[in-house]
Amino acid sequence: MITVRSLLDDAWYERYTRVSQLNIRSSIYDLTNKCNLRCKGCFFFSSDEHKLQDGEEKDVRKWEDFVDREVERGVNLAILIGGEPTLFLDRVEAFYKRVPTYCATNGIIKVPRDRFPDMMVGISLWGDSEDEKVLRGRDVFSLSLNNYSGDAYTYYLYTLTPKQIGRIERVVRRIRDNGLKVHFQLLSNDEGAEGFHWNDSQLADVRGEMDDLLDRYPDTVISSKYYHQVICTGEMLGRKWGWLECPSVTEHMDHRTPQPKRLIRFIRWGADLKTTHRCCTSATRDCTTCKDGAAHMSWVMVNKRAHMRSTQDFQNFVEVYEMFAKLYRFIPW
C-alpha cells in the first residue's frame, strides 16, 4: 500500500507535514468596481463584471458584517481583487482586522504599513516598461517599485507575455535589486491584444526561461518547475486543463457532473456583497485558454491522491503547496 510516509524521506515528510496542517479555505472578493487603470486583457472589465445592477456596497459596517459571516462560513484566507482595492482602504481594513488577507494591487497607491503592517500585497506586473505602456497605458512598474522597495510583505505577480521571452531576467534583476520577490503567471489575453497570443513553441521557450530563472535567482523567484510545466502545457498527470478540471468554481454555481476535485467552500463575491461570479476569473473566458496561475496551482493542490503515484510526483505536489503557502504568507519565504 502506497502511503505518504512510504513516498517521502524524513526531510520531505517534514515539509509535507508543515503544509498539510494549514487547511486553507480561501475565497475571492471584488472590493470595488473602480480602477485607476484600464489594462488590455483584464478579465474583470473585459467581461463586464464591474457592471453590477446595484453597483457596490459603500457602507463599511455592512462590509464588516459580511466579513464576519464569511469567517463563520469557514474562510481563513481573503483574496482581495477589484477593480483596485487600495482605492478603498476602509474596506480592506474590514477584512484585515478579521481574517488573513491578501491584497492584489497595481501598486500605484502605497498600502500604509502603519495601518496594515503584515498584510500580504501582490503587485500586478505585465512586462517591462515597454509592454506595460502597451497593455496598461503607462509604466506602472517604476512607480510601484518606488512605493514598495524593500517591503518584506510584498511580491510581484509577473504576468508573462510572448513578447517578454528573452527579456524576463532584466525585470527579475530589477525586482531583486529592490529587495522584493516575484512569482510568474501567463497572460490569457482575454481581449485579443495583437501579438500577445501564445503558441506551443513560445510556451516551451517561456517554460525553459522560468525554470532557468528559478535556478539562478532562488531567493527572488517564488515558484516551482512543476507549476511551470502544468501552466505551460495545460496538462497534469495526463489530464487536460479545462472547465471539467478547474477547482476554482464558486461552490453554489458548480453543477458539473461528475464533480471534479475542487476548493472547499470557495466563492467569488462581487462588490455589492450579493452577486457571485462563476469562477476566480470570468464567465466569458474560454477555460481552455485560461492561464490563471492560482487556478492551476490549486488544480495541483486539490489532487493530492492523484500525485501519490511516485516519490517525484508527490514531491511535485508538496513544492506547489509550499509555493502557494508562501505567496499567501502561511509559511515564511
- CATH number of the domain within which 48 lies: 3.20.20
Distance separating alpha carbons of residues 253 and 250, to the nearest angstrom: 5
The total number of structural domains in the chain stands at 1
Q: For residues 32 and 90, is the Cβ–Cβ distance under 8 A?
A: no
pLDDT value of residue 228: 98
pLDDT in tens, 259-313: 999 999 999 999 999 999 887 666 667 788 888 899 999 999 999 999 999 999 9
Domain that holds residue 191: 4-327
Share of the chain above pLDDT 90, in %: 77
Residue at 77 is within a domain? yes
**Stronger pLDDT, 186 or 130, i.e. the higher one:** 186
pLDDT of 54 > 80? The answer is: no
Specify the DSSP class assigned to residue 289. G
Least confident of 21-25, 39-43, 88-92, 232-236: 39-43
pLDDT value of residue 283: 66
pLDDT of 176 > 50? The answer is: yes
- Residue 45's pLDDT band (boundaries 50, 70, 90)? very low
Which has the closest alpha carbon to 297: 274, 320, 315, 278? 320
pLDDT value of residue 289: 83
pTM of the model: 0.93
Residue at 332 is within a domain? no
Average pLDDT for 154-171: 94
pLDDT value of residue 128: 81
DSSP 141-192: HHHHHHHHTT-TTEEEEEEE-GGGTT-HHHHHHHHHHTT-EEEEEE---TT-
Residue at 17 is within a domain? yes
Across the chain, what does the average pLDDT equal?
91
pLDDT in tens, 181-206: 999 999 887 666 777 889 999 999 99
pLDDT of 39 > 70? The answer is: no
Cβ atoms within 10 Å of 239's Cβ, excluding its own = 14
- Residue 65's pLDDT band (boundaries 50, 70, 90)? very high
Q: For residues 220 and 192, is the Cβ–Cβ distance under 8 A?
A: no
pLDDT value of residue 42: 63
Residue at 315 is within a domain? yes
pLDDT value of residue 235: 97
Residue at 32 is within a domain? yes
Residue at 167 is within a domain? yes
pLDDT value of residue 120: 98
